[in-house]
């Protein structure tokens, strides 16, 4: 990976990643995953409160009217086992109140600029945020 690209990114969770502009098109979670891959990125993972705040700022800046926004966390593979689509460790979560509360009906995670994470139905169409791993 060329050095210049690494220097553009933020140091998130020990790797340099560059969150993309929040995508305004509404896609279901699986299509959002695929879209990010076409951008050589992943749905964003979040590893600290600082990263969460950065994501929220992006959502508010680029998509202030949007309600929920997909991030890369899901328990699609095994109920109750939360995993990031970029393969990074789940070392931080910021669940809203009693969420996750959806059991097998809700396996994908939304955030929003004013609130915390909720598990939601993966088939719902929402905006989403990708993050590109730089190095």
Task: Out of 102, 115, 116, 124, point to the residue binding Ca ion (CB under 5 A).
Answer: 102
CA distance 17 to 133: 4
Of residues 28-57, those binding Ca ion (CB under 5 A): none
User: What is the DSSP code string of 69-116?
Assistant: EEEEEE-SSSTT--EETT--------B-TT-S--GGG--EEEEETTEE
Which CB sits closer to Ca ion, 11 or 79? 79
Which CB sits closer to Ca ion, 91 or 101? 101
Task: Out of 85, 107, 110, 111, point to the residue binding Ca ion (CB under 5 A).
Answer: 107
Residue 127: strand pairing partners: 69
Interface characters, 54-83, with Ca ion (x: CB under 5 A): ---------------------x--------
Of 65, 89, 96, 87, residue with least CA distance to 133: 87
- The yes or no reply on residue 109 touching Ca ion (CB under 5 A) is no
Residues listed for the chain: 135
- The yes or no reply on residue 118 touching Ca ion (CB under 5 A) is yes
> C-beta of 79: minimal distance to Ca ion in Å?
5
Cis peptide bond N-terminal to 56, omega within 30? no
- The yes or no reply on residue 9 touching Ca ion (CB under 5 A) is no
Residues found near Ca ion in the complex (CB under 5 A): 75, 99, 101-102, 106-107, 118-119
């Amino acid at each position: 990976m060329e050095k210049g690209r690494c220097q553009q990114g933020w140091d998130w969770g020990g790797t340099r990643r560059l969150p993309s502009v929040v995508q305004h098109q509404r896609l279901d979670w699986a299509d959002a995953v695929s879209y990010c891959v076409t951008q050589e990125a992943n749905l964003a993972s979040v590893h600290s409160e600082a990263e969460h705040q950065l994501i929220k700022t992006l959502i508010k800046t680029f998509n202030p009217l949007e309600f929920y926004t997909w991030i890369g966390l899901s328990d699609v593979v095994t109920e109750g086992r939360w995993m990031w689509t970029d393969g990074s460790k789940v070392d931080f979560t910021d669940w809203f109140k009693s969420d996750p509360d959806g059991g097998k009906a809700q396996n994908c995670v939304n955030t929003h600029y004013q609130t915390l994470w909720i598990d939601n139905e993966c088939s719902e169409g929402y905006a989403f945020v990708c993050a590109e791993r730089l190095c």
